């Protein structure tokens, strides 16, 4: 995403709900596809809850991490969010263009800098955290007794999928076919 991109340019257009008459084949039985449908719906719902601020879940997460870790280096932000360094650079550039974050020289290393929220960024984050916390409470409440269990299950799934991807032998990966 470039510095000038708006969420309108990257927001999913639909909920990805099953369309009557469309044969989804294997997709209907895949956990990953069900998660993708849910993620799309959650993204749209999150966007509605934060639309006044043009904040995506990724931007929100980055703001929280910067606020909770003053002086956080961009590379560590990328690692914490599962992004390439260039993705963290684009986020940082966007935040600085908005006046919500700034780069400051690191006191322990004159060649490095860390990220800090500006006063405007801290005020924004306080509003966002209230809106996002309420949004999350409503989602958990909608799931009833299953809400907490689902969150715990998703955390376990993330760990399990990560462990499998790091342990999988390289010879199982599909090879690119030459044209």
Backbone angles phi, psi at 117, to 5 degrees: -75, 145
Enter the DSSP assignment of 72: B
Tokens of 23: 């044969």
CA distance 75 to 109: 15
CA distance 117 to 52: 19
pLDDT digits (tens, 9 = 90+) for 62-87: 999 999 999 999 999 999 999 999 99
CA distance 82 to 72: 15
Indicate whether 9 pLDDT > 70.
Answer: no
Does the domain made of 54-158 have the CATH classification 1.10.10.60?
no
The CA-to-CA distance between both ends of the chain, in Å, stands at: 30
Indicate whether 13 pLDDT > 70.
Answer: no
Beta bridge partners of 72: 115
pLDDT digits (tens, 9 = 90+) for 159-170: 898 887 776 555
Band the pLDDT of 15: cuts 50, 70, 90.
low
- Sign, CA torsion 134/137/141/142: positive
Any idea where the domains of the chain sit in the sequence? 54-158
Beta bridge partners of 117: 101
């Amino acid at each position: 995403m470039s510095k000038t991109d708006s969420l309108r340019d990257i927001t999913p257009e639909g909920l990805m709900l099953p369309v009557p008459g469309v044969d989804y084949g294997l997709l209907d039985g895949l956990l990953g596809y069900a998660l993708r449908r849910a993620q799309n719906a959650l993204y749209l719902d999150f966007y509605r809850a934060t639309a006044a601020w043009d904040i995506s879940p990724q931007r929100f997460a980055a703001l929280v991490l910067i606020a909770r870790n003053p002086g956080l280096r961009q590379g560590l932000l990328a690692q914490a969010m599962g992004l390439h360094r260039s993705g963290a650079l684009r986020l940082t550039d966007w935040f600085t263009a908005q006046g919500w974050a700034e780069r400051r020289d690191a006191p322990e290393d004159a060649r490095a800098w860390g990220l800090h929220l500006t006063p405007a960024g801290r005020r924004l984050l306080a509003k966002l955290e209230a809106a996002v916390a309420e949004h999350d409470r409503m989602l958990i409440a909608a799931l009833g007794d299953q809400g907490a269990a689902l969150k715990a299950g998703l955390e376990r799934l993330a760990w399990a999928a990560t462990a499998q991807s790091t342990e999988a032998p390289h010879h199982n990966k599909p090879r690119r076919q030459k044209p």
